[in-house]
């Protein structure tokens, strides 16, 4: 056996990895990256169809963003959040100018989980109510409150969690909880389910409804037309705060600054992170409507973070927004969705009996894998682990062997390259995924 590198030995001896059984890990040592590619210490290159954690929207090592961090480091590396700072203020203004409606204030955090934590706090204090509704098919982060909001199984080991969180079913026509057969039926029935949930929980107790605008890890579920507007109407009817978690869906991932723009809906709070500066330096935040900001005009907001609005992170975000506009990134993302990813994945679905459905928008797509198209039995069971999860591990392994790294979750391959990826690289990656799906076809019932 070839002796492993010092980097590998250090990792295995001392790095405690998230979401992992430590002794079962065999991580790739990544040595570098550029654009939509990264490579290991042996120089083997991989097309990044995962955008790492679906956050590398602008691509790896964009020279303008890297240079902006260097300039800021020369000027001022850190200043406490209680002070005003030119870079922090500029970013807040730029975000407010691009956000819908009157979301004109920004509370900065270090990432998406903290954004959701603070959005919940704002909603509860604003309304004087304690319950928060979130969907079962969701992931909102791994801090105490955000993991309670999370509907998927990663929540289970952390229970009991934050009191007052109630889960409900969101729209998902392919596996409808409402026995719907059309998008219109799914929308109508999902909205009625939300109404009924609020009714039986007591509208006067509900502070907020929290939604991923487009559900990410749990299936890239694009809401049917009318759903978000319906949620907005329900929230307004009952005085409930509407919170949209756009940590994954924002900043070009859906072809817009904010995914809600596709449906012309303005929530009360938008949580963001990831694509705001592609994680070059950790950054997240909450965009706040004037109505909620006014709650804290003369009443202190009881929350804060040492690194809120960190200058290096803000400098990266300011430059990233400028690059998006100078290089036409949003238009490019929309084009990739309509002209390349959508048609390309539809062709893949036709060729592979293991593909139950492909769905998505912009540069945010999912391949749902099944054993039987008629029954829609998933390729692996819900929350599969150990031998039961082997078929998906085989498919992912086949992708990596061919030089493309997808984002896998459950029985799904999420195709989420950087939104700046070239047409040629997207097409090359789809061809490699197409080849790897022959492994999934071997598990289809005959």
pLDDT at residue 318, rounded to an integer: 98
Report how far residue 293's alpha carbon sits from residue 302's, in angstroms, rounded to the nearest whole number. Answer: 13
Answer whether the bond into residue 437 is a cis peptide, omega within 30°: no
Strands 377-378 and 364-372, by their bridges, are antiparallel
Report how far residue 207's alpha carbon sits from residue 108's, in angstroms, rounded to the nearest whole number. Answer: 22
Give helix 423-441 / helix 342-351 axis angle, nearest 10°.
20
Report how far residue 332's alpha carbon sits from residue 228's, in angstroms, rounded to the nearest whole number. Answer: 25
pTM of the model: 0.97
Q: What proportion of the chain, given as a percentage, has pLDDT over 90? A: 99
- Which domains can be identified in the chain, with CATH numbers? 6-61+328-441 (3.90.1150.10), 64-326 (3.40.640.10)
Kindly state the average pLDDT of the residues 43-63.
98
263-282 pLDDT tens trace: 999 999 999 999 999 999 99
Report how far residue 342's alpha carbon sits from residue 334's, in angstroms, rounded to the nearest whole number. Answer: 10
pLDDT at residue 3, rounded to an integer: 82
pLDDT at residue 184, rounded to an integer: 98
Q: What Cα–Cα distance (Å) separates residue 58 from each residue in 248, 281, 305, 324, 333? A: 13, 13, 26, 8, 11
Structure tokens at 207: 């502070």
Cα Rg, the chain, nearest whole Å = 22
Q: How many helices (H) and strands (E) does the chain have?
A: 14, 15
323-339 pLDDT tens trace: 999 999 999 999 999 99
Q: How sure is the predictor about 2, in pLDDT bands with cuts at 50, 70 and 90?
A: low
Q: How sure is the predictor about 10, in pLDDT bands with cuts at 50, 70 and 90?
A: very high
Pair 272, 252: CB distance under 8 Å: no
388-433 pLDDT tens trace: 999 999 999 999 999 999 999 999 999 999 999 999 999 999 999 9
Pair 284, 108: CB distance under 8 Å: yes
SS3 106: strand
């Amino acid at each position: 056996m070839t002796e492993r590198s010092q980097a590998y030995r250090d990792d295995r001896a001392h790095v405690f990895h998230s979401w992992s059984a430590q002794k079962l890990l065999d991580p790739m040592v990544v040595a570098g990256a550029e654009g939509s590619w990264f490579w290991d210490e042996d120089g083997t290159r991989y097309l990044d169809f995962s955008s790492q954690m679906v956050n590398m929207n602008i691509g790896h090592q964009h020279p303008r963003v890297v240079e902006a961090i260097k300039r800021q480091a020369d000027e001022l590396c850190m200043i406490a959040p209680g002070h005003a700072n030119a870079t922090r203020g500029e970013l807040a203004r730029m975000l407010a100018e691009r956000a819908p409606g009157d979301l004109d204030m920004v509370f900065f955090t270090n990432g998406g989980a903290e954004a959701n934590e603070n959005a919940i706090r704002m909603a509860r204090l604003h309304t004087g109510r304690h319950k928060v509704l979130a969907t079962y098919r969701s992931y909102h982060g791994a801090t105490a409150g955000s993991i309670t909001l999370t509907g998927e199984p990663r929540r289970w080991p952390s229970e009991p969690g934050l009191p007052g969180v109630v889960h409900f079913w969101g729209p998902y026509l392919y596996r409808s909880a409402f026995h719907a057969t059309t998008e219109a039926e799914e929308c109508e029935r999902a909205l009625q389910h939300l109404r009924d949930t609020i009714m039986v929980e007591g509208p006067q107790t509900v502070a907020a409804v929290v939604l991923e605008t487009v559900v990410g890890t749990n299936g890239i579920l694009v809401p049917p037309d009318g759903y978000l507007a319906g949620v907005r109407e329900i929230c307004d009817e009952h005085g409930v705060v509407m919170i949209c978690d756009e940590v994954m869906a924002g900043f070009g991932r859906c072809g817009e600054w904010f995914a809600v723009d596709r449906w012309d809906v303005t929530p009360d709070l938008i949580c963001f992170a990831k694509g705001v500066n592609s994680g070059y330096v950790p950054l997240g935040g909450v965009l706040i409507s004037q109505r909620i900001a006014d709650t804290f005009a003369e009443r202190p907001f009881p929350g804060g973070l040492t690194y809120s609005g960190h200058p290096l992170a803000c400098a990266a975000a300011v430059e990233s927004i400028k690059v998006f506009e100078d290089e036409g990134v949003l238009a490019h993302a929309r084009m990739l969705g309509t002209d390349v990813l959508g048609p390309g994945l539809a062709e893949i679905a036709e060729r592979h009996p293991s593909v139950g459905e492909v769905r998505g928008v912009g540069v945010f797509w999912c391949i749902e894998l099944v054993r039987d198209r008629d029954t829609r039995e998933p390729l692996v069971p819900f929350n599969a682990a150990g031998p039961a999860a082997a078929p998906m591990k085989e498919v992912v392994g086949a992708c990596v062997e061919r030089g493309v790294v997808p984002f896998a979750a459950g029985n799904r391959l999420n195709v989420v390259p950087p939104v700046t990826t070239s047409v040629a690289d997207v097409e090359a990656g789809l061809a490699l995924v197409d080849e790897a799906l022959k492994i999934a076809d071997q598990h289809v019932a005959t």
